[in-house]
Chain A
């Protein structure tokens, strides 16, 4: 079956540090890949996505590249801010499934300190 594996947290960083959250997946065919973010006390929202190999999703300074050869979709940001403190979820949507049917990773809590 399909699955998503992401690095465990919490990840604690100082402001302006570089952030990487690793995400790898197992799926049949070519899934669509996503990063969702859950800020404290708020709902889940889409951060970025990529729908085919070598696509790069980007938003709010975050980037992730769909790597078919390594089945990965690592999230990066060059300089984090305190406001980036949140839980980040990697997810996939299998090509044989409904678009909104998502398989999530375990989530990675990121804590950015001033």
Chain B
């Protein structure tokens, strides 16, 4: 299994500012994923982050708005840039099973972001 720590767990931010969310995993993983869960809605994949390469973004998400870093096999950050109230969501980090044999995806507790 994998234990994922996300920071911060929640934040209230002013519009126009940026917030960086950290995701730390207790073991090395190849791929990390960032999801958004808007209020009352399902999870939508923002991007996939591999160590040593640029993140791959899903349709509707761009690097300028959601820059991602993946400096090593246990850590990633997602920045929400130039925030507006529409960015108020829960942001979740996810990883695949670190053992190399896939069994499931593990999720962090999420970061609850409110933009005012």
Instruction: Chain A residues near B105: list those with CB within 8 A.
Output: 46, 99-100, 102
Interface contact A100-B96, CB-CB below 8 Å: yes
Interface residues on B, range: 20 to 34
B62: min CB distance to chain A, Å? 18
Interface contact A98-B42, CB-CB below 8 Å: no
Interface contact B110-A101, CB-CB below 8 Å: no
- State whether A49 and B104 are in contact (beta carbons under 8 Å apart), knowing that A98-B96, A100-B31, A100-B94 are contacts in the complex: yes
* A43 at interface, CB cutoff 8 A: yes
A47-61 CB mask vs B (1 if < 8 Å, else 0) is: 001000000000000
Grouping DSSP codes into helix (H, G, I), strand (E, B) and loop, the B interface class, with mixed when no group exceeds half, is strand
B 33-63 contacts with A by CB, 8 A: 33, 41-45, 48
B31, B44, B104, B110: most-surrounded residue (chain A CB, <10 A):
B104
* A45 at interface, CB cutoff 8 A: yes
Q: Which segment, of A20-28, A68-76, A77-85, A104-112, faces chain B?
A: A104-112
- Nearest chain B residue, comparing its CB with the CB of A4: B42
A68: min CB distance to chain B, Å? 21
Instruction: Chain A residues near B18: list those with CB within 8 A.
Output: none
- State whether A106 and B41 are in contact (beta carbons under 8 Å apart), knowing that A45-B107, A100-B105 are contacts in the complex: yes
Interface contact A105-B48, CB-CB below 8 Å: no
Give Cα A100 to B56, complex, Å: 14
Interface contact A43-B108, CB-CB below 8 Å: yes
- Nearest chain A residue, comparing its CB with the CB of B92: A44
A93: min CB distance to chain B, Å? 8
B71: min CB distance to chain A, Å? 19
Give Cα A58 to B104, complex, Å: 14
The 26 sampled A-B contact pairs (Cβ below 8 Å) are A36-B107, A43-B92, A43-B107, A44-B92, A44-B107, A45-B107, A46-B104, A46-B105, A89-B42, A89-B43, A98-B48, A98-B96, A99-B96, A100-B31, A100-B33, A100-B94, A100-B102, A101-B33, A102-B33, A102-B94, A103-B45, A104-B43, A106-B41, A106-B42, A107-B41, A107-B42
